[in-house]
Amino acid sequence: MAKHFNLTLHVWRQKNAKCDGKFVEYPAENISPDMSFLEMLDVVNEGLIRKGEEPIAFDHDCREGICGTCGMVVNGRPHGPKERTTTCQLHMRSFKDGDNITLEPWRAEAFPVLKDLMVDRGAFDRIIAAGGFISAPTGSPQDANALPIPKENADLAMDAAACIGCAACVAACPNASAMLFVSAKISQLALLPQGQPERYLRVRDMIAQMDAEEFGTCTNHGECETACPKGIKMENIARMNRDFIKASLTYRPATIGGGAG
């Protein structure tokens, strides 16, 4: 059995969106290196509940790095020290006895803190609702193999589609820009033939919504790419920008008219 160890946590506690928050110190004792980071927090929380104190609120669900629910800033880094790893997949073997760990929520204008380490990422859903889809009503598509797609494009689309919507990119960006997230969806759909009819409409509508949500602008710091647990690349941002320019140049308001008869 690996040796257990002790840590000190400095955790952002905030009752709700309206109250101010502050850091509170908690010991985390008898931690096994095989525990996941969230299991370590579970242990601390069980102790708090037994004492009648409110446990530290944090979002989580799958604990497998795929649902994108978890996420906190660990010692200044979104999702913590391990590259390409969500908070739930971080393990305590990345830490050592006596470490101090600071935990904060994602910080961005567009993501109000709901409680402690939990934020409201509804802005991401609204961006998708604005255009992050292909209009394919149920029952309408043709046979799946009727449209061959070069493997290379399918693979690139899949790379972009791997985004889990966790918002670490926003938390990492000094401007709190959402460009990496938005460009990943735009790229995925722009790389596929099915995505072509709405390609320019999509980029325009999604970017308009992104701006309305008060995300910052991208000034090429590249922090987003480093923080992203799914390896989403900044080349997606370049692809989105090209499409956006093209969309702006070719913009024509939709013609409205009824059919004859």
Partner 1 sequence: MELNSRIPDGPIEKKWDNHKFDLKLVNPANKRKYKVLVVGSGLAGGAAAASLAELGYEVECFCYQDSPRRAHSIAAQGGINAAKNYHNDGDSVRRLFYDTVKGGDFRAREANVHRLAEVSNNIIDQCVGQGVPFAREYGGLLDNRSFGGAQVSRTFYARGQTGQQLLLGAYQALQRQVGLGTVKMFARHEMHELIVVDGVAKGIVTRDMVTGEIKSHLADAVCLATGGYGNTMYLATYAKGCNGTAIWRAHKKGAAFANPCFTQIHPTCIPVTGDHQSKLTLMSESLRNDGRIWVPKKKEDCGKPASQIPEDDRDYYLERKYPSYGNLAPRDIASRAAKQVCDDGRGIGETGLGVYLDFDAAIKRLGANKIEEKYGNLFEMYERITDENPYKTPMRIFPATHYTMGGLWVDYNLMSTIPGLFVLGEANFSDHGANRLGASALMQGLADGYFVIPYTIGGYLAGIKPGSRIKAEDPAVKAAEQYVSDRVAKLFAINGKETPTHFHRELGKVMWEFCGMGRNEAGLKKALQLIPQIREEFWKNLRIPGSGADVNQSLELAGRVADFLEIGELMCLDALERRESCGGHFREEWQTEEGEALRDDENFCHVAAWEHKGEGQTPVRHVEPLSFENVHLATRSYK
Sites of contact with ligand SF4 (CB under 6 A): 163-169, 180-181, 184, 227-230, 232
Binding at 181: pick from ligand FES, ligand SF4, partner 1, none (beta carbon under 5-8 Å per type)? ligand SF4
Is residue 67 a contact point for ligand FES (CB under 6 A)?
yes
* Residue 84: CB atoms within 10 Å: 13
| Contact criterion met (CB below 8 Å) for 122 and 64 | no
Count of chain residues binding ligand FES (CB under 6 A): 12
State yes or no: residue 78 binds ligand FES (CB under 6 A): no
Among ligand FES, ligand SF4, partner 1, none, what does residue 57 contact (CB within 5–8 Å per kind)? partner 1
Burial call 178-213: b when 16+ CB within 10 Å, e when fewer: bbbbbbbbbbbbbbbeebeebbbebbbbbbebbeeb
Closest CA to 215 of 248, 171, 259: 171
**Site membership for partner 1, residue 57 (CB under 8 A):** yes
In terms of C-beta density within 10 A (0-12 exposed, 13-18 middle, 19 or more buried), how is residue 94 classed? middle
Show the binding pattern over residues 151-190: x = contacts partner 1 (CB under 8 A), - = does not.
x--xx-xx--xx-xx----------------------xx-
Residue 70 interacts with, from partner 1, ligand FES, ligand SF4, none (CB under 5-8 Å by kind): ligand FES
